[in-house]
């Protein structure tokens, strides 16, 4: 039986708890910790976690309980230290996105995992979605030829009060704005499909959130040797119509799925190639659907990897790659320069202090609340369709 501790009892902790509860034969939640201990108690009570005790801190949990896997659901600035502590205490770690507040912190976490021979995974629940699996396979197999142009509309909408929560809307505690907190999902998916780009250019702004230091809209251009990708990141877009478009040599492959294909007339103009669209649609639908998606699927893979029954599908190195691109986006935007990857460990932006010293505060954060009243959260409107 794998003993679980969930650290941080906020919004996403509920999703973790529900996911672990789906596998009662292989794991049980033994502890939930939160500085507001009542929040931990509340989850235990509402979800009927009969094996779990509430704690105030992770240190208390690790002292009192024998834990195998720690799920870190803390604000971003606390991910690195908590992960390293849990790994050094001999636990495996699943940490929420973004992996950490800097590349230096990511490397510290990776070293702790390696030293203690423990698994470290960063939540990327959208890799565990049927449309993503299908599109990735078509891209990897070059079924419709090579990818030439990628457009990602990572469009979200958040109201003014979103940043009132104490850790949001600050470079210090959230680590960034929409690129760090929302578009992190799409960047992770892009890396999973295409690998790392060679260079990044970008512009970021804050156009609608006056209680926030960080960006609420931005555009990044990513260069690969034979393709160009651009990402629009925003939390000012009504409807949250998110889309990933991969233009390949023979067809447009996209999420939400709606493939298109053209062929060239003798004069070079286009004609619709509906037979090919039907063929690619059939191939896409022939790739088996996943039996489980999202957080539960990621968590099941982590549990099975701990038991030695499956390979860990996504390790800490993957989370670091996403953070490297986000760091490059911030560096390019503030220096107004094209940033060539990788970012070395003597780069100003490798360390958190370097990032903090460079990034503009778009506004002064003036309102800060400790907790919101419990309401629903959204995890991406079209990411999984
Ligand atoms: N994967 C996703 O789709 C997804 C969605 C939402 C949030 N997240 C991520 O999950 C993390 C948490 O986000 P959230 O929305 O749940 O935030 P939240 O503020 O609702 O929850 C964080 C909790 O941590 C507690 N906490 C803070 N410091 C602590 C400490 N030192 N020890 C113990 N508890 C402490 C807070 O009291 C709070 O209850 C963030 O990194 C966020 O980006 C991921």
| Mean pLDDT within 37-45 | 97
Task: Name the pLDDT band for 66 (thresholds 50, 70, 90).
Answer: very high
For ligand 1, atom 33, the nearest C-alpha belongs to: 34
Q: Fold for domain 2-124+294-314? A: Rossmann fold (3.40.50)
For ligand 1, atom 7, the nearest C-alpha belongs to: 12
| Mean pLDDT within 224-244 | 97
Ranges of CATH 3.40.50.720 domains, the chain: 2-124+294-314
- pLDDT of 45 strictly over 90: yes
Whole-number Å distance between alpha carbons of 303 and 21: 12
- pLDDT of 370 strictly over 90: no
Whole-number Å distance between alpha carbons of 110 and 185: 20
| Mean pLDDT within 16-45 | 98
Task: Report pLDDT digits (tens) over 191-227.
Answer: 999 999 999 999 999 999 999 999 999 999 999 999 9
Which pairs with CB-CB distance under 8 Å and at least 24 residues apart come from 277-283?
A: 277/251, 280/138, 280/143, 280/144, 280/250, 280/251, 280/253, 283/138, 283/143
Mean pLDDT value across the chain:
97
| Mean pLDDT within 179-199 | 97
Q: What is the largest distance, in Å, between two alpha-carbon atoms of the chain?
A: 75
Task: Report pLDDT digits (tens) over 303-339.
Answer: 999 999 999 999 999 999 999 999 999 999 999 999 9
| Mean pLDDT within 152-169 | 96
Between 373 and 233, the higher pLDDT residue: 233
* pTM, two decimal places: 0.96
Task: Name the pLDDT band for 360 (thresholds 50, 70, 90).
Answer: very high
Ranges of CATH 3.30.360.10 domains, the chain: 127-290+320-358
Task: Name the pLDDT band for 383 (thresholds 50, 70, 90).
Answer: confident
- pLDDT of 296 strictly over 80: yes
- With pLDDT > 90 as the criterion, what percentage of the chain qualifies? 96
Which pairs with CB-CB distance under 8 Å and at least 24 residues apart come from 52-57?
A: 52/28, 55/31, 57/33
Task: Name the pLDDT band for 269 (thresholds 50, 70, 90).
Answer: very high
- pLDDT of 381 strictly over 80: no
For ligand 1, atom 21, the nearest C-alpha belongs to: 10
Task: Name the pLDDT band for 47 (thresholds 50, 70, 90).
Answer: very high
Pocket mutation for ligand 1, best pick of 6, 33, 36, 73 (most atoms within 8 Å of C-beta): 73
Separation of CA 119 and ligand 1 centre (Å)? 21
SS3 readout for the chain: CEEEEEECCCHHHHHHHHHHHCCCCCEEEEEEECCCHHHHHHHHHHCCCCCCEEECCHHHHHHHCCCCEEEECCCHHHHHHHHHHHHHCCCEEEECCCCCCCHHHHHHHHHHHHHHCCCEEECCHHHHCHHHHHHHHHHHCCCCCCEEEEEEEEECECCHHHHHECCCCCCCCCCCCHHHHCCHHHHHHHHHHHCCCCEEEEEEECCCCCCCCCCCEEEEEEEECCEEEEEEEECECCCCCCEEEEEECCCEEEECCCCECEEECCCCCEEECHHHHHHHHHHHHHCCCCCCCHHHHHHHHHHHHHCCCCCCCCCHHHHHHHHHHHHHHHHHHHHCCCEECCCCCCCHHHCHHHHHHHCCCCCCCCCCECCCCCCCCCCCCCCCC
Whole-number Å distance between alpha carbons of 289 and 6: 30
The closest-lying atom of ligand 1 relative to the alpha carbon of residue 125 is 1
Best CA proximity match to 182, nearest among 255, 98, 239: 98
Q: What is the pLDDT of residue 384?
A: 72
Q: What is the pLDDT of residue 377?
A: 79
Q: What is the pLDDT of residue 378?
A: 78
| Mean pLDDT within 140-163 | 97
Task: Name the pLDDT band for 374 (thresholds 50, 70, 90).
Answer: confident
* Residue partners of 212: CB distance under 8 A and separation at least 6: 163, 168, 169, 170, 177, 206, 362, 363, 365
The closest-lying atom of ligand 1 relative to the alpha carbon of residue 124 is 1
The closest-lying atom of ligand 1 relative to the alpha carbon of residue 370 is 37
- The reply to whether omega before 135 is within 30° of 0 (cis) is no
Q: What is the pLDDT of residue 31?
A: 98
Q: Fold for domain 127-290+320-358? A: Dihydrodipicolinate Reductase; domain 2 (3.30.360)
- pLDDT of 382 strictly over 80: no
- pLDDT of 13 strictly over 90: yes
The closest-lying atom of ligand 1 relative to the alpha carbon of residue 379 is 3
- pLDDT of 379 strictly over 90: no
Whole-number Å distance between alpha carbons of 171 and 179: 12
Q: In angstroms, what CA-CA distances link 101 with 200, 331, 355, 385? A: 19, 14, 9, 30
* Residue partners of 45: CB distance under 8 A and separation at least 6: none
């Amino acid at each position: 039986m794998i003993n679980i501790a969930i650290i941080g009892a906020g919004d996403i902790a509920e999703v973790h708890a529900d996911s672990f509860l789906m596998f009662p034969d292989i794991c049980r939640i033994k502890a939930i910790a939160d500085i507001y201990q009542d929040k931990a108690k509340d989850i235990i009570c509402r979800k009927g976690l009969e094996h779990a005790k509430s704690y105030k801190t992770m240190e208390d949990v690790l002292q009192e309980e024998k834990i195998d896997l720690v799920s870190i659901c803390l604000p971003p600035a606390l991910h690195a230290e908590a992960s390293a502590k849990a790994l050094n205490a001999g636990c495996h770690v699943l940490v929420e996105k973004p992996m950490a507040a800097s590349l230096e912190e990511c490397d510290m976490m990776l070293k702790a995992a390696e030293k203690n021979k423990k698994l470290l995974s960063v939540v990327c629940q959208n890799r565990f979605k049927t449309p993503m699996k299908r599109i990735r396979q078509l891209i990897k197999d070059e079924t419709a030829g090579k990818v030439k142009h990628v457009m990602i509309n990572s469009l979200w909408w958040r109201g003014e009060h979103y940043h009132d929560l104490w850790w949001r809307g600050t470079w210090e505690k959230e680590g960034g704005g929409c690129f760090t907190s929302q578009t992190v999902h799409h960047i992770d998916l892009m890396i999973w499909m295409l690998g790392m780009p060679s260079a990044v250019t970008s512009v970021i702004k804050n156009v609608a959130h006056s209680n926030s230091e960080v960006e609420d809209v931005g555009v990044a251009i990513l260069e690969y040797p034979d393709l160009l990708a651009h990402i629009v990141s925003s939390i000012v877009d009504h409807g949250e119509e998110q889309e990933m478009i991969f233009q390949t040599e023979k067809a447009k492959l996209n999420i939400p799925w709606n493939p298109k294909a053209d062929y060239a007339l003798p004069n070079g103009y286009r004609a619709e190639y509906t037979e090919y669209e039907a063929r690619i649609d059939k191939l896409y639908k022939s790739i088996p659907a996943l039996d489980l998606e999202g957080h539960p699927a990621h968590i099941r893979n982590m549990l099975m990897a701990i038991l030695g029954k499956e390979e860990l599908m996504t390790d800490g190195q993957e989370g670091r790659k996403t953070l490297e691109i986000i760091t490059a986006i911030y560096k390019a935007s503030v220096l107004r320069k094209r940033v060539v990857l990788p970012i070395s460990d003597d780069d100003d932006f490798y360390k958190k202090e370097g990032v903090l010293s460079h990034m503009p505060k778009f506004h002064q954060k003036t309102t800060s609340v400790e907790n919101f009243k419990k309401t629903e959260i959204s995890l991406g409107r079209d990411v999984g369709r």
